[in-house]
Structure 1
Amino acid sequence: MRLRAKKYNREINKRRIGVEHVFGVLKTFRILSERYRNRGKRLGLRFNLIAGIYNIELNKK
């Protein structure tokens, strides 16, 4: 049982580190790394636009 738990945790950590790296890259956009001071309605839209730009750049590689 302990071996299964270790293997499971290893898989979770592999996925988590990938997500953390993406968040790190997205935070190069100041709008995501600082306090958001505009209308709350538009935050989702702006985040999606930035994520789209990141995905386009990722597909070019």
Structure 2
Amino acid sequence: MIICTAFDKGRKHDFRIFKGSQLPTQLEQLWVADRGYQGIAKFHAYRCTPVKKSRKRSLSKAERQFNRQLAQVRITVEHTFRKLKIFRILSERYRNRRKRFGLRFNLIAGLLNYELTHSN
């Protein structure tokens, strides 16, 4: 479910928006993120990001297995992004009033949350 949203003007990375937004967080909650959130350890103790391969060494079998299991968990998040892109609020340039973007995004998120809770 989409619980909390934050927006900023222009093109910015999600992690940069997160650092500036000061959204309320629960300390016991596990955060599962992709490699774009490398510095999340400074903000949250319970985080889980994939292991990155370096130029000098390849990933071990255990690290590859961990990345695969993490991807299986993250796929639900990626499917939610896909559903938001179907509404075209994330996939295209938003051409309406900037003040109403947050309202419209939250309305679409509410529709998706309703669909998730009432689907069989």
TM-score normalised by the chain length of structure 1: 0.71
Matched residue count: 61
Structure 1: gaps spanning 5 or more residues? none
**Higher RCO (C-alpha 8 Å, min separation 6):** 1
Task: Give the alignment of 1:1-61 within 5 angstroms.
Answer: 2-61=60-119
Structure 1 residue 7 displacement after superposition: 2.3
Measured at CA, do residues 49 and 5 of structure 1 come closer, stay the same or move farther in structure 2, by a change above 3 Å? same
Structure 1 segments, 4+ long, off by >4 Å, are none
Cα distance in 2 for residues equivalent to 1:33 and 1:3:
36
Q: Return the letter of the residue paired with 2:90.
A: L
**Which amino acid in 2 is paired with 1:48?**
N
- Which of the pair is proportionally richer in helix? 1
- 1:15 partner amino acid: V
Structure 2: 5+ residue stretches without partners: 1-58
TM-score by length of 2: 0.42
